[in-house]
Amino acid sequence: MYSRFPGVVLGFHGCDEAVGRAVVSGVDQLQASHNNYDWLGHGAYFWENSPSRAWEFAVEQKKRGRLRTPHVIGAILDLGNCMNLVDSQYHAMLKKAYDIYTAIIPLESDRAVNKGGRDRLLRCLDCSVFQIMHTSMESNNEPPFDSVRCAFEEGDPSFPGSGILDKTHIQICVRNPACVRGYFLPLDENGAVLKFE
């Protein structure tokens, strides 16, 4: 009943400048990610209301050699039928999906594992469980989730002893491309294209 997310959300995507400009101009579409380590399963990823976090991600991707020129685009998102993991009602679904996953892959040594340090940047297990859940819903003719939304604590403490981490964010995985109502270049408070440093 409450899975329909009210209104629209602004999402920001860090990418290569050539890709971003092609998407904003309508020449190309943003492609869904299909990595086995995607945090919320397969889809197009956005940082909710955080162009600065999208920029940080794009800069990190450049350092890894995955893009040439860091860039950020904005998107107007209607999350549709949203699995909003900030709402505790959806966690039972994830637990059920994990049970299905462990039944399919009974040996723990054969199962995917989250890895990548304290922040678990490579979430292979999480991705597998989300994909099993979506497949199970589809095979049971349940309405699919158009998007998945989750808050993540990430990074270092904001100050000594703090429980607040400096890269904490809300991430959105858009599974249904129709959720994207439009793309734009983020602007600063003066109406100029936002510059990142």
What pLDDT was estimated at residue 190?
86
What pLDDT was estimated at residue 2?
60
Tally of structural domains, the chain: 1
Residue 17 lies in a domain: yes
Share of the chain above pLDDT 90, in %: 85
- Relative to beta strand 169-174, strand 44-48 is antiparallel
Structural domain that includes position 155 = 9-184
What pLDDT was estimated at residue 191?
87
* 118, pLDDT greater than 60: yes
Residue 59 lies in a domain: yes
* 31, pLDDT greater than 70: yes
Residue 195 lies in a domain: no
Average of per-residue pLDDT across 103-131 = 93
Q: What is the pLDDT of residues 154-191, one digit of tens each?
A: 999 999 999 999 999 999 999 999 999 999 999 988 88
What pLDDT was estimated at residue 196?
83
Residue 193 lies in a domain: no
Q: What gap in Å lies between CA 125 and CA 139, rounded to an integer? A: 21
- Band of the pLDDT at 73, cuts 50, 70, 90? very high
Residue 33 lies in a domain: yes
* Phi, psi at 8, each rounded to 5°: -110, 160
* 1, pLDDT greater than 60: no
Residue 150 lies in a domain: yes
Residue 191 lies in a domain: no
* 67, pLDDT greater than 60: yes
Residue 4 lies in a domain: no
Within the chain, residue ranges assigned H as helices are 17-24, 51-63, 91-104, 124-139
